Amino acid sequence: MQHGAVSNAGMGRGQREPADGDIVREQAVLFRLTDRLYRANGLDEIYDAALDAICDALGSSRAAILRFDSHGVMSFVAWRSISDKYRGAVNGHTPWTCNEHDAEPIFVEDIRLSGESRQLIDTVLGEGIQALAFIPLASSRELIGKFMVYYPAPHRFGDRERELALTIARQLGFAIERERAETTAARLSALVESSDDAILATDMDGIVTDWNSGAERLYGYGRDEMVGRPLMSLIPPDRQNEEREILARIRQGEHVGHFETVRLHKDGSSIPISLTASPIADASGAIVGVSKIGRDISERLRAQQQRELLLREMDHRVKNLFAIARTIVNLSAPASETPAALASTVSDRLGALARAHALTMLPATGHSVQAATSLHALIAAILEPYRQGTGEHPRFTISGIDLPVPPAMITPLSLLLHEFATNAAKHGSLSAAAGSIEIACSNSDGKVTIQWREVGGPPPIATDDEGFGSRLIRAAASELGGVVRDWGAAGLVLEITIDLERFPA
């Protein structure tokens, strides 16, 4: 509707003062509206209460409520006695935009005198409407819509009716804003509560005020245990300055981005986390608290450590393979009469080395692992590159019990044996032309023992230094049972012990 077509000048003049009965009725209507809005459960009940009040207070059987949608279009959301055809024809029509802050109500006493287009006037008259009012609905921040009241004949709007219309509009606007805020708060609360991250809040003294289920899972404390307690109880003594620094930055209005730190679980264990902190402000903008989000990074750190271990293992293996290849060449050369024979011998041994190396790369589980390898076959595959020596005696012997090796044991056992063979080729009995290894497998007291005895090599040198190879042996042995090393005068002796129950029956 055009603003200029419906001047309010002179409206309400000469109308009688409201009788006491009218005032009581109006007050009763407003009381019922207030009560129903307070008790309303959702927008539908809010709209229903408002339409009843509009019709009762303003003496009409026809009314409608319209809201701006997400595209800024004014659309019908609730109505009384308005046809589908009419709603479709006037949907989107509004005298205001959603950005207006001081919209004034518009009262049209006779649509035929409004100055609107002939098409719009005919549409309104076709619905049996001759007078109507546009009453803006506003929240505390913006215009959110309007309500309409319609009359079948020209209607003179008195001051009392206009006051009632504005009072109903204010109450309806407040109710819509409250419902929207409660819905948003409930949605945010659900998001916070369902988050896997630990989300908590403290006041500016570091006292916990909020605590979600993610915080319960991460730190082990229930909400009742932490709300009202100092957050310092989660912080290791050597890191408590962090909390003071965070609070100091929050007081300056800063956001503390992701940084990695450590917090304490209820059971006393340390938890590595990634932490963010943000200020919480009240309606006036004053900072009254801190919101914190903590994310457990234990798995990421373990994965990072595993990657670093694999990279170091790769470096270690590559260096060892070069050293072994050099040893193979040195051991093969004296027995080779021609370059071609040397090339053939070295090629065969390097091929065997590659097959043994492949065993150490088998996954511990999965369909790629086929039938279990026997214990003797696994040892033989690892030592195959060193089978041929310069003399007639064998480079290694395998004796004793032979058991199937389950797929889950292949990788750690192969890593151990491969490391033993590598060290023997670099420093032990396999580095000497006459050296050899004796492997004996036995079963006693529920333990399977694999004894690795080196003979004929250089005197072993014991060392307390733990290089990567030693750490690799220790890590692989921890998956099996244990490894004992003895640097005897005759040569190095190693024993691997594994629980018999680890082997298939």
Task: Determine the average pLDDT of the residues in 464-493.
Answer: 70
Q: Which amino acid is at 291?
A: S
pLDDT of residue 3: 42
pLDDT at residue 361 in the model: 58
- Tell me how far apart the alpha carbons of residues 380 and 412 are, in angstroms, rounded to a whole number: 16
Q: Identity (one letter) of the amino acid at 429? A: S
More confident residue, 460 or 150: 150
- The proportion of the chain whose per-residue pLDDT surpasses 70, expressed as a percent, equals 82
Say if CB 215 and CB 202 are below 8 A apart. no
- Higher per-residue pLDDT: 489 or 55: 55
Q: Is 362 a residue whose pLDDT tops 70? A: no
3-state secondary structure of 72: coil
Do 119 and 27 form a contact (C-beta atoms < 8 A)?
no
pLDDT band at 14, cuts 50/70/90? very low
Where residue 391 falls among pLDDT bands split at 50, 70, 90? low
52: confidence class by pLDDT, cuts 50, 70, 90: very high
Q: Which of 43-52, 155-164, 230-239, 359-368 is predicted least confidently?
A: 359-368
The per-residue pLDDT of the chain, averaged, comes to 83
The residues near 269 (Cβ < 8 Å, ≥ 6 apart) are none
With bands split at pLDDT 50, 70 and 90, how would you rate the model's confidence at 394?
confident
Whether residue 11 has pLDDT greater than 50? no
Find out whether 390 and 331 touch, Cβ atoms under 8 Å. yes
Q: Is the pLDDT of residue 10 over 50?
A: no
Q: What is the pLDDT of residue 368?
A: 42
Distance from C-alpha of 154 to C-alpha of 110, rounded to nearest angstrom: 5
Distance CA 81, CA 127 (A): 10
Burial of 349 (0-12, 13-18, 19+ CB in 10 A): buried
| Number of Cβ within a 10 Å radius of residue 40 | 18
CA distances from 246 to 181, 204, 238, 303 (A): 30, 10, 15, 29
pLDDT for 401: 93
Lowest mean pLDDT among 51-60, 330-339, 470-479: 470-479
Mean pLDDT value of segment 42-55: 94
Q: Tokens for 110?
A: 């006779």
Residue 221 has pLDDT above 90, yes or no: yes
In the predicted structure, residue 5 carries a pLDDT above the cut 70? no
Helices assigned H by DSSP within 235-297: 240-251
CA–CA dist 457, 492 (Å, integer): 9
pLDDT for 355 equals: 66
The radius of gyration of the chain from alpha carbons, rounded to an integer in Å, stands at 43
CA dist 412 → 67, 162, 306, 477, 496 (Å): 69, 87, 15, 7, 11
Lowest-pLDDT range of 28-37, 198-207, 424-433: 424-433
- The backbone torsions φ and ψ at residue 491, rounded to the nearest 5 degrees and listed phi first, read 155, 170
Where does the pLDDT of residue 7 fall: very low under 50, low under 70, confident under 90, or very high at 90 and above?
very low
Mean pLDDT, residues 441-454 taken together: 91
Q: Is the pLDDT of residue 345 over 80?
A: no
Structure tokens given for 243: 């909390």
Residue 144: per-residue pLDDT: 92
pLDDT exceeds 90 at position 65:
yes
pLDDT tens digits along 247-262: 899 998 888 888 899 9
The DSSP secondary structure of 136-188, one letter per residue, reads: EEE-SSSEEEEEEEEESS-----HHHHHHHHHHHHHHHHHHHHHHHHHHHHHH
Residues 76-88, mean pLDDT to the nearest whole number: 95
Q: 135 with 165: CB under 8 angstroms? A: yes
